[in-house]
Amino acid sequence: MTDPIIIDMGIVALTGALATIGGAAEDLESDVGSQSNPNSQVQLAAQMDFPHRIFNKAISGEPPAYGLWCASSAVVAAVLLESMSVFFALAIGSLVGAILLGMFSVTAHMGRTASQSRFKQPLYMDMVIGHVPAIMAHGYVAVFCIISFSYIMNTIMGHPFPLPLLALFWGVTAGAIGSSTGDVHYGAEREFQNQPFGCGLNASFSGNIVRKGEVGLRNGMDNVWACAKFGGPVTGLALGLTVFLDNWRSTIFTGDNAEWFAIIAGLIIVVVLILLNRIVELNGRKAYGPYKDEEEGGATA
C-alpha cells in the first residue's frame, strides 16, 4: 500500500503547481490593463502631454481587487457545490469572477480616461473591446487556479476556514505578490525600455513612457507579450513557492509536536529567504551601482 505521506505530498505539489499557473496569469492580467505599479506612469503620461493607446485601469489596488474576484467566485462555487460536481462548480464560479473583473475594468478605464479630458487623451473604444476579453481570460485562469487550490486546502487538507474566506485570503496574497513582483518588470523596464538598463528613473522622464510598438502604437497586448517572458513566470514562481512551502511544512511533520516542528521549519524558510534576498540585492548594487550622470557614462536626462 502507498505510504499516505506520498499522497499528501502529491496534493501539496498540486497546490503549488496550481498556484504557479495562477500567479503567472494574475500578473499577466494586470500587465494587459496596466494595473498597480506601472499604472502611475500610464496615468501620468497623458498629463505630461504624452497621449497613448495603453489600457489604463486601477481597481482599488491589486490585492483587494483579487480578493474580490476570488471571494465572489468562491461564493458562487460554494452555492453551486450543493447541486453540482466540483469541477463545474469551480469553473462556473471562476467565470462569474472573470465577468466581474471585466465589469470593473470597463468602468476603471473609461472613468480614468474621461477624467483626463483637459489633456486631450481620447477614449478609444476599440481598446476597451480589444483589451477587456484578454483581461478576463487571464483573470479566469488566475481565479480558477486560486479557488481550486483553496478548495483542495478546505476539503482535502482539512483547513478549518470556509472556501470563500480561504479564497479571499489567497486572492489578496496573489494580488500582493503580483503587484510587488511581476509588475515591477513592466513598470520599471518595459515602460522605459528606451533608457539604459538599471539607470533609474530621472524625474524629468516621468510619464514619458514608450508609446510606440514594434509595429504601430504600443498597447496592452504588446506589454503582456513582453512581460510573459519574465514578470509573469517570476510571479508564478513566487506564489507557487509561497503556497508549496507553506503547505509542505505543515504536511511533512507527523506525530507528537508536529506543529512545533512546522513553526520552526517556517522560521528557517523565512531566514533563508531573507538571506537569499540580501545576496541578490548586494549583487545588484555591485553590478549597477548608484545613478551616474551623463558625463560619467550614465543615462541622458
Partner 1 sequence: MSAVEGGPAGGGISATNVAILGIVGGLVGIYLASILNDITATTYFSFFGGIGAILAGVWGADAVRRVCSYGLGTGVPSIGMVALGMGIVAAIFGLALCYVINIPVVLGPIIAFIVAAIIGLIMGTMANKILNMNIPIMERCMVEIAGAGCLVMIALCVTISGTLVFESHVATDITILTSVVQTGFIALIFIGGAMIILHPFNACLGPDESQDRTLYVGVEKGGIIMALSGVASLMVLGVIPAALTIVIGLLIWIVYFTKFINLTKRDAHKVIGTGLLPTEEELQ
Q: What does the binding site for partner 1 look like in residue numbers (CB under 8 A)?
A: 39-40, 43-44, 47, 49, 51-53, 58-61, 64-65, 67-68, 71-72, 74-76, 78-79, 82, 96, 100, 103-104, 107-108, 110-126, 161-168, 211, 217
Q: Which CB sits closer to partner 1, 16 or 164? A: 164
| Sign of the four-CA dihedral 78, 83, 87, 93 | negative
Q: Which CB sits closer to partner 1, 38 or 232? A: 38
Which residues are registered as beta bridge partners of 212?
217
- Closest separation in Å from C-beta 292 to partner 1: 27
Q: Which CB sits closer to partner 1, 47 or 202? A: 47
Place of cell 524625474: 203
CB 80 within 8 A of CB 58: no
Q: Which CB sits closer to partner 1, 89 or 241? A: 89
- Closest separation in Å from C-beta 240 to partner 1: 23
Q: Which CB sits closer to partner 1, 90 or 166? A: 166
- Closest separation in Å from C-beta 149 to partner 1: 16
b or e along 79-88 (b: 16 or more beta carbons within 10 Å of the residue's beta carbon)?
ebbeeeeeee
CB 104 within 8 A of CB 65: yes
- Closest separation in Å from C-beta 99 to partner 1: 9
212: helix, strand or coil: strand
Helix axes 125-155, 86-114, angle to 10 degrees: 140
Q: Which CB sits closer to partner 1, 48 or 269? A: 48
Cell of 225: 507579450
CA–CA distance, 181 with 75 (Å, rounded to integer): 28
- Closest separation in Å from C-beta 120 to partner 1: 5
- Closest separation in Å from C-beta 106 to partner 1: 8
CA atoms within 13 A on the CB side of 105: 32
217: helix, strand or coil: strand
